[in-house]
Structures are given as C-alpha cells and as structure tokens.
Homo-oligomer: A and B are copies of this chain.
Amino acid sequence: MAIKTKATEAPALPLNDILSGDCIEVMRSLPDASIDLIFADPPYNLQLKGELHRPDNSKVDAVDDHWDQFSSFAAYDTFTRAWLAEARRLLKPNGAIWVIGSYHNIFRVGASMQDAGFWLLNDVVWRKSNPMPNFRGKRFTNAHETMIWASKSENSRYTFNYDALKALNEGTQMRSDWLLPLCTGHERLKDANGEKAHPTQKPESLLHRVLIGSTNPGDVVLDPFFGTGTTGAVAKMLGRNFIGIEREEAYRKVAAKRIARVRTFDASALETAGSKRAEPRIPFGHLVERGLLRPGEVLVSPRGTTAKIRADGTLAGDSVAGSIHQVGAAYEKAPSCNGWTYWHFRRDGKTIPIDSLRQQVRAEMNN
C-alpha cells in the first residue's frame, strides 16, 4: 500500500534556490500563505513599450502621444496588478512586502498595492550618498529611490524589530530616510567582459537593513525579480531562507555563483537587541506570593501618594482599587499607566521601583 500524502500538506517550498521563468507563472506554482517577506525590485515602465494592448486585449496601432502614453501606463498597471496579486496570495497572514522604485513607476505601484488590499506601513526613502548628477542641469539630481513597506492586510501583525533598528541607528529610532551609498567597487558584480553584470544592482547595505528590521532568522524571503541576487546573498548572511525568481539565465548564473561564496554569520552574531515586549510576563501577584512584597505593605508613587498591597496582588488606594496599572492610571487621571515603573517600595530607608523585583524574578527564571 502506497503512502499517501495528506491533501492538506503543503508542497515543499524550494528554499534557497533560484527558480527560472516568468515571475508571475513561477509564483503561481508556489503555495498560498507560505512566505514571510517579499522584496521586489520590479522593472520600470520603460521596458514594456512594444507590447501595448488595450484592456480588452486589442492591439494598439500607432497613435498620438497622449493615447500611447496612457496605453503604456495601462499595460504597466496590468502587469503590476498581476504580480502583486500573486505576491499577496503567497504571503502568510502576518507577512509583509517591500517594493522599490523611482518616480517613473512607484506611484502606479503604490496605488496598485493599496487597491490590492496591502496596508501601507511606511514609505522609506533611500538617499544615495553618491548619486549620478543631472548632467544637463534641467532637473534636480535624482538622489533617491522610494521603497514601500506594506503588510498583507490592515490587521496583519507584521514583524518589526524596533530595538534592533534603534541599535543600528545608535540609540534613536530609525527614520524613514536612509542614507546609503550606491553599489560600487568590489561589491558590484562584473560579467565575463568586465562590464557590470546588472544595470541596477542594489547595495547589500539596503537589504541588510530591510531584513534585520522586518524578518527573523529562519524566515522565508521571496524576491520575484531576483537579478544578481542581492536579496539572496544578504538573506544567507543573516540566516534567513530565500527564494529567487529570475527569467534571465545570465543573471541566475551570476547570482548562484555569488551566493555560493556567502557564509552565514554565527548564530551569536545574529542575535539582536532584545525587546521588552518579548520578555515573559510576570504578574504583580507573583511578587506577593513569593514574599518579595508583603500584603499590607504600602507602595509609593512619584508624587508621594500611596496604595496598599492586598493579598491577591491588587492595590487598594484612595477610593479606588485594582491592578497596579489601574490604580496608577486613576491617580494620574491618565488613560493608562505602567504600574511597574510608577510604584515604589521602601527598604532600609531607600525607595526602589517595583520593576527591580520583576527583573529579579525574571533572572531567576532564566537559571
């Protein structure tokens, strides 16, 4: 009797591989809700000329500029909506996407993302420290590109490693404008003739920040316009899995060779600044149960007001009782209050925040 694969079992994902073919068709072969993050660097409008069709698929004759322009935008929109729809299907419910572009295409892409149900989280500006100048002096130096970061839906609980990004930015929260140099020098891949292997190779520093900020080690990152594989290279370095899709064989070859040379950083180097939200929750009552605070003991607020600890871990204050947070909020007439930092106890003449007891309990739990 043959072993039967359960119908509910998802097909295996081709992890850490570069898939060959048109990105929309290849995406169709991948299972629903299997991807944690998508990074997409789609082609610009310019390359689609010559395939102009009206929405009803009739071919457009040579026409005046205005109609031609509109048709070209329509064709680009059709393409954009198609790959975005597949991308969204592939994302896990809490998945997210980054798309990078310039003013030629990013507005159309962003509007299509909103229409497709993606929920925009930020637009992030990549400021180039070494952009190409505008040689003719007719416009501003085009010194940035725009990235859109969006979750699969409005109520996705997307990944955002706030503390790691804050650490990367020397202690202040990361802003929506990132100053990074273009990909040049030894990082820029060359082909056999010594020419650049790809016209728009993205710098690894850009992907580093994207992946540190919006994925965790072991996550699956899909890049449907893989090119020379910057996404894959950085994903591998950082201990993330990748799936690349690329239809040009020359790019696939360069990317595969590049990624083969990459080594994953040690697990210890991949640990990032931890967030308090990830710490185990300690109910205040545990401090009472464990005798670190006694029922009947009095806690003091920064204002000097007091409340008495009850045996069940609630506080009794002036005309109000409840959790440490509720009584603190009532005293401050505030919508909320973090009781752990608000309340203090006294020992040996010193006034100590109760949060220090929570830290002590957490440390013991880690032993």
A residues neighboring B (CB under 8 Å)? 51, 53, 57, 65-66, 69-70, 73, 102-104, 106-111, 113-115, 117, 120-125, 127, 129-131, 133-134, 137-144, 146, 148-149, 154, 160-162, 164-165, 167-171, 173-177, 179-181, 187, 203-205, 208-209, 212, 237-238, 265-266, 268-273, 281, 283-286, 288-291, 294-296, 308-314, 316, 321-323, 332, 334-337, 364-365, 367
Given contacts A103-B122, A127-B127, A129-B365, 6 further A-B contacts (CB under 8 A): A53-B335, A103-B120, A107-B111, A167-B313, A205-B290, A265-B294
A316 B268 Cβ-Cβ under 8 A: yes
Residues in chain B near residue A295, CB distance under 8 A: 237, 265-266, 269-270
Cα(A364)–Cα(B165), bound, Å: 23
Residues in chain B near residue A271, CB distance under 8 A: 310, 316, 321
Nearest opposing residue in chain B for A315, CB measure: B167
B312 A164 Cβ-Cβ under 8 A: yes
28 contacts between A and B (CB under 8 A): A51-B335, A53-B336, A57-B332, A57-B335, A69-B114, A69-B117, A102-B123, A107-B109, A107-B148, A108-B114, A121-B139, A127-B177, A138-B162, A139-B160, A141-B175, A167-B312, A167-B323, A168-B285, A168-B312, A170-B285, A170-B313, A181-B364, A204-B289, A209-B289, A268-B310, A271-B316, A271-B321, A272-B312
Cα(A107)–Cα(B269), bound, Å: 35
Residues in chain B near residue A109, CB distance under 8 A: 107
A107-B111, A146-B123 known; A365 and B141 CB under 8 Å? no
B268 A296 Cβ-Cβ under 8 A: yes
**A203 CB to closest chain B CB, in angstroms?**
8
Nearest opposing residue in chain B for A70, CB measure: B115
Cα(A288)–Cα(B204), bound, Å: 11
Nearest opposing residue in chain B for A276, CB measure: B137
A171 B323 Cβ-Cβ under 8 A: yes
**A102 CB to closest chain B CB, in angstroms?**
8
B270 A143 Cβ-Cβ under 8 A: no
Cα(A117)–Cα(B294), bound, Å: 38
A73-B114, A106-B107, A143-B176 known; A65 and B312 CB under 8 Å? no
Cα(A268)–Cα(B315), bound, Å: 10
**A21 CB to closest chain B CB, in angstroms?**
29
Contact of A170 among B187, B266, B283 (CB under 8 A): B283
A103-B120, A290-B180 known; A269 and B308 CB under 8 Å? yes
Residues in chain B near residue A102, CB distance under 8 A: 123
Contact of A284 among B108, B154, B170, B270 (CB under 8 A): B170
**A182 CB to closest chain B CB, in angstroms?**
11
Cα(A296)–Cα(B268), bound, Å: 7
Residues in chain B near residue A143, CB distance under 8 A: 175-177
A310 B270 Cβ-Cβ under 8 A: yes
**A116 CB to closest chain B CB, in angstroms?**
10
Residues in chain B near residue A138, CB distance under 8 A: 160, 162
Cα(A332)–Cα(B65), bound, Å: 29
Residues in chain B near residue A122, CB distance under 8 A: 103, 139-140, 142
Cα(A268)–Cα(B336), bound, Å: 25
A129-B364, A310-B270 known; A144 and B284 CB under 8 Å? no
A103 B131 Cβ-Cβ under 8 A: no
